Structure 1
Amino acid sequence: MSTRHLVGVAAAVIVAAAIAVGSSSDSRPNSQHNCRIIPGDASWPPTSVWQQLNKTVDGKLIATIPIAAVCHTTLFDQSNSLFDQDACNALRDNWNFPETHLPSSSSPMAYPFSNNSCNPWLDPRTPCTLGSHVVYSVNATAVSHLQAAVAFAKQHNIRLVIRNTGHDYLGKSTGAHSLGVWTHHLKSIGLIAAYKGTGYTGAALRVGAGVEAIEAYTFANRHGLVVVGGNCPNVGLAGGFIQGGGHGPLSSRYGLAADQILEAEVITAAGDFITATLENEYSDLLWALRGGGAGTFALLVSVTVKAYPELRVSSASLTVLNDGTNADALYASIGSFIQTTLPSLVDAGGYGCLGRGALRLHDQPRLRAGSHLDHLLLPALQTFKDKGLQYQYASAESTTFLDRYNELQKTASWNVSDYNLGGRLVPRKVAVNDTANLMAAVRYISSRTLMSGVSYNLQKGVSSADGGAVNPKFREALFGISIGTAIDYQDWAATLAAQDQITNELLPQLEKVTPDGAAYLNEADYQATDFQHLFYGEAYPRLLAIKHKYDREGLFYAKTAVGSEEWAEGPDGRLCRNPEYRK
């Protein structure tokens, strides 16, 4: 049985398989105003109520069985008929790839957010439990399904979680004892040939919440257009990516993905299906959705985004090896590259990905609209040559963005479940004027673990500074640095310690050189204690006011999202009002 088929089988078990988790008669007290209910509470809905919800959503209710259940002989305290060692081995072989988790309504790509509850690498006799997986999910394919999920969660005081593709390093798309809303199959996509609105007239696409980047790129290409999306082909365009800002290969030319939003169809906490535009009474909500973070203001159904004429795109790959004797020259050359070549490159519409591990610098790929990429990179190549560094370089050009993008995907590897994550934005002024201290921090981190950087100029394509809720410091960045420490599937304590290393040792090296700095909220450290300032900056007070306006009772909750400080997760995973929070 293939891993993809296996995941599909596990995700298709409806209602009855997981009903046992709610059968306890425990009557632990909780208040609707203070805590969400969890399985075992007397008020947890009985089987008949879940079955009625299943009918309401046209049989789309999924009872979670973790995809790693095939690796365990015990499931939910019962003998597990799904146990299959061959299937488990196949799952392990493909565990780190997003395609393994995409067909699941519950599996976190960032493994730590499962709370180690159903680990495919542990002894088969280790029980498989729900842990921090959602208890049920509504596989939404219609607006009515989304409204039913919102109404059910409100009526029964159950934690609600929104999940699209599951590309999520901050734990927003999963949560213990919750009802999930799975938007991955909202795949509508349509062309608006001549959109007319405030500040924009031109082509646009209306895309459902489940449309992935490659699907949007392909549709746009058929109509001679391009749209701003992400690097990874199966990241959802409309969802956490775009609501968190969203940078991608065309961002230095057209701005962030959030800058492209013209309209947003959403379900509010009140259950209303509305369209937010700059011209109507929901313009403040649209502002928040344009970079203020996902999972907290409303439930996204679709977005309308700007589309641009097709263009020629070139790319280049540069690899420089650390042979153990050339580290000083290597880091000096990287510093020179960041200080001199990189600003010119992004100002010309370029966008780059740099990776630095223990043995190599890999600059791959570097996309720019138009030609002459070789000319822009020539100074950097000369620097490496002058320093006596051996390098490999190649470049190519395509007549369409999609052709070049697809070529680059042939050598790309999108492992998503290998690492804990943390990140920091590097302002242009720091990169150019304080290069030595920046490179000292980079050298410290990269000698201990993996790190990568993505470079851009995000000043372009922005109609006004008030056009969206993106942290203003994001606009000032020349690049963002991401840090990854390895997940140890055999040692849960070591995995948690590796995240702590990012928080307490590695990121502070960058914080020293970027005081009063910022982080890209989609690729940041979820343990950041000052996330309000770090992720959202000066936009946070306005965002919090909008959150309270549209979701006064806090139905929509996500880790590090706006308003999340008003809640706290207990040792048992129960979500309760934070007693230490004061408005």
Structure 2
Amino acid sequence: MHHLKDTEIIDWDDGQYAGKALKLGAGVQGFEAIEVARREGLTIVTGECPTVGLAGAYTQGGGHSALSSVFGLAADNALSFDVVTPSGELVTASSSENQDLYWALSGGGGGVFGVVVSMVVRAHPDAKVSGARFAVAIPSNQSELLYDVVDAFHAALPDIVDAGIMVIYFFGPGFFQVAALTAYDKKREETEQILAPFSTSLARLGIELEVAYTEFSSYADHYDHYWGPLPSGNIQVGTDLFGGRLLPRQVLPDFAPTTRKLVELGVVFIGVGLDVSPFGKNNTNAVLPQWRDSIVQVSLTLPWDFEAPFEEMVALQDRITDEVQPVIEAVTPGAGAYMNEADFQQPDWQETFFGENYPELLRIKNNLDPEGLLYAVAGVGSESWKVDDHGRMCRSFSCERRRA
């Protein structure tokens, strides 16, 4: 799949979207799609990690982007898929043909409905993009100050994302930082004004906020500045253990006690602040519906230690499952989680990752793949299988029969 690198800018009109689009092979990665689009004065919704492929679980799992507050999730931008079904047939899935498969592939989870070999996504006009990053160091003798800073940022966040901005921020014991703020089609001065209320709040706490602002003439240049150098980028993968949760907008004002509990557990909170509520209307795709009411996609991480015994890392992941996740779940009942950045051991994964869409996704899965050829951990239909400690799989009912 990695070598399926064909790209083509095309005109598209299916009655629901009319405009430029990018057709891309399943091996095309984010940095490649951004460059193809840039040459034509366009831009594409991709992941923050530039090496992530677009046609796989990124788009099929939903896919957030620095442009999501303006253009939605990756799944909201999918126009069609060329797919090899489990029966070996090559078909096209779109809003006008094989609609069930198109719906499922647009946010219903990767790797279980078919093998996507190419897809078509919306292409948007390129524009100037302003940005910002900053960090607040918390003195060791003023540890309580961290909670005031986080509360101030969360108070400012609704107005920030409502201005069409997406922001990635981190906090943990002793620090708070905004790693990247993306303001599509906004001048630097506009971004400064949007952040001014937060800056004023910090001034009241005795903190002078020093922000590094930028403005670029194209999204590609902005992207390279914050997530480059391309092609590899600056996001490390495989270095952390994950939990995750979607944070509903209505929960944010009362989140302060949970902030404290999470910091005291020693986790790093990674927040993706965004607003995708205007997209995916009328159940046009299988994106977890709770995305539309959320203001932050939360990842809760603990570091992977490559020198430690494997068993210790397993125990640390169990700690996320058993101790960390319940803390945030207690204040976000029914909120769900982004399946691509969550706890793979999530006990109620059907509800958490797929919500009310799960019965229909399972029906489509069973219709397309009655033999269960395609499998993914916590993917649609995976409850039909058991995996032992050595990685061997067997049907759940046959495993139970063997134990009897």
User: What is the aligned partner in structure 2 of residue 359 from structure 1?
Assistant: 174
Structure 1 stretches of 5 or more lacking a match? 1-182
* CA shift in 2, pair 1:243/1:495, >3 Å: same
Q: How far has the Cα of 1:451 moved from its partner? A: 2.4
- Counterpart pick for 2:353 among 528, 535, 548: 535
User: What is the aligned partner in structure 1 of residue 247 from structure 2?
Assistant: 426
- Counterpart pick for 1:552 among 348, 366, 370: 370
Q: SS at 1:513's partner residue? A: coil
Q: How far has the Cα of 1:386 moved from its partner? A: 1.1
Question: In structure 2, how many angstroms separate the alpha carbons of the residues matched to 1:338 and 1:557?
Answer: 39
Q: How far has the Cα of 1:227 moved from its partner? A: 1.0
- TM-score w.r.t. length of structure 2: 0.94
Greater radius of gyration (CA): 1
Q: SS at 1:522's partner residue? A: helix
Percent identity at matched positions?
37
Question: In structure 1, how many angstroms separate the alpha carbons of the residues matched to 2:261 and 2:127?
Answer: 38
Q: How many residue pairs align between the two structures?
A: 393
Q: How far has the Cα of 1:482 moved from its partner? A: 0.7
Question: In structure 2, how many angstroms separate the alpha carbons of the residues matched to 1:220 and 1:420?
Answer: 34
Q: SS at 1:279's partner residue? A: coil
Q: How far has the Cα of 1:417 moved from its partner? A: 1.8
- Counterpart pick for 1:565 among 367, 380, 383: 383
* CA shift in 2, pair 1:336/1:574, >3 Å: same
Question: In structure 2, how many angstroms separate the alpha carbons of the residues matched to 1:469 and 1:415?
Answer: 29
Across the aligned residues of Structure 1 and Structure 2, the Cα RMSD in angstroms comes to 1.6
The one-letter code of the counterpart of 2:207 is L
- Counterpart pick for 1:315 among 117, 120, 131: 131
1:53-202 alignment runs, 5 A limit: 183-192=1-10, 194-202=11-19
Question: In structure 1, how many angstroms separate the alpha carbons of the residues matched to 2:235 and 2:172?
Answer: 16
The one-letter code of the counterpart of 1:499 is Q
Deviations 1:84-115 (Å, cap 9, x if unpaired)?
xxxxxxxxxxxxxxxxxxxxxxxxxxxxxxxx
Q: How far has the Cα of 1:390 moved from its partner? A: 4.8
- Counterpart pick for 2:216 among 390, 398, 401: 398
Structure 2 stretches of 5 or more lacking a match? none
Deviations 1:393-443 (Å, cap 9, x if unpaired)?
1101111111111112348631112111111110000013x2333433443
Question: In structure 2, how many angstroms separate the alpha carbons of the residues matched to 1:580 and 1:441?
Answer: 43
Q: Is the 8 A contact 2:199 2:208 kept in 1?
A: no
Q: State yes or no: 1:287 paired with 2:103.
A: yes
Question: In structure 1, how many angstroms separate the alpha carbons of the residues matched to 2:104 and 2:399?
Answer: 22
1:356-505 alignment runs, 5 A limit: 356-369=171-184, 370-371=186-187, 372-410=190-228, 413-432=234-253, 434-445=254-265, 448-462=266-280, 464-489=281-306, 490-505=308-323
Question: In structure 2, how many angstroms separate the alpha carbons of the residues matched to 1:365 and 1:436?
Answer: 23
Question: In structure 1, how many angstroms separate the alpha carbons of the residues matched to 2:196 and 2:220?
Answer: 26
Question: In structure 2, how many angstroms separate the alpha carbons of the residues matched to 1:540 and 1:397?
Answer: 42
Question: In structure 2, how many angstroms separate the alpha carbons of the residues matched to 1:246 and 1:287?
Answer: 15
Q: Is the 8 A contact 2:243 2:300 kept in 1?
A: yes
User: What is the aligned partner in structure 2 of residue 326 from structure 1?
Assistant: 142
Question: In structure 2, how many angstroms separate the alpha carbons of the residues matched to 1:383 and 1:567?
Answer: 52
Question: In structure 1, how many angstroms separate the alpha carbons of the residues matched to 2:17 and 2:140?
Answer: 53
Question: In structure 2, how many angstroms separate the alpha carbons of the residues matched to 1:217 and 1:257?
Answer: 13
Question: In structure 2, how many angstroms separate the alpha carbons of the residues matched to 1:484 and 1:580?
Answer: 36
Question: In structure 2, how many angstroms separate the alpha carbons of the residues matched to 1:512 and 1:325?
Answer: 30
Question: Higher relative contact order at CA 8 Å, sep ≥6: structure 1 or structure 2?
Answer: 2
Q: Is the 8 A contact 1:321 1:391 kept in 2?
A: no
Question: In structure 2, how many angstroms separate the alpha carbons of the residues matched to 1:545 and 1:260?
Answer: 24
